[in-house]
Amino acid sequence: MKIGQGVDVHAFGEGDSLVLGGVTIPFNRGLEAHSDGDVVLHALCDALLGAAGLGDIGRYFPPEDSAWRDIDSRVLLRKVNALISEEGLTLVNADITVIAQAPRLAPWIGEMREYISADLAVTAAQVNIKATTTEHLGFTGRGEGIAAFAVVLLDD
């Protein structure tokens, strides 16, 4: 068994929606990022790569490489899943926490779980996502950005 953890943070910027867990969520701002800014999938990719001992997301999809500009992070997740599969590893479970004062994420979590489980070829029961606020403390509480933390367990 191998455990990995990942973290990602993006600042809010211009836009009228944001992408989290592969789901486009209507909102009065977007996220500043080289790709689609999906902090959920970026944290998950880092957790998977970390558990497999394969480095981090920047090693495979560097922000200075224009090939990854505006890419759908579900593509990145599927590529990371292929990498861990090549190592003979499979996902036992993933637990993801999103930290944001807004938007309210509860209505979108089921769809996020479906997308992630499909991309990782596991059941939705193996993917848990929860959201919390920081009670108006810190950069997320002030509405400056959003963060996600992911923990995974892999088996060989």
The correct CATH number of 2-155 out of 3.20.20.60, 3.30.1330.50, 3.40.50.300, 3.20.20.140 is: 3.30.1330.50
Q: In the chain, where are the structural domains located? A: 2-155
Task: Please give the pLDDT value at position 70.
Answer: 87
42 vs 45: CA distance, rounded Å: 5
For residue 145, the model assigns a pLDDT of: 97
Taking the alpha carbons at both ends of the chain, their separation in whole angstroms is 7
Confirm if 6 and 54 have CB atoms less than 8 A apart. no
Q: What is the pLDDT along the chain (156 residues), one digit of tens a residue?
A: 999 999 999 999 999 999 999 999 999 999 999 889 999 999 999 999 999 999 999 999 998 888 888 899 999 999 999 999 999 999 999 999 999 999 999 999 999 999 999 999 999 999 999 999 999 999 999 999 999 999 999 999
| Cβ contact 98:132 at 8 Å | yes
In angstroms, what is the C-alpha Rg of the chain? 15
pTM for the model stands at: 0.96
The whole-number pLDDT of residue 34 equals 87
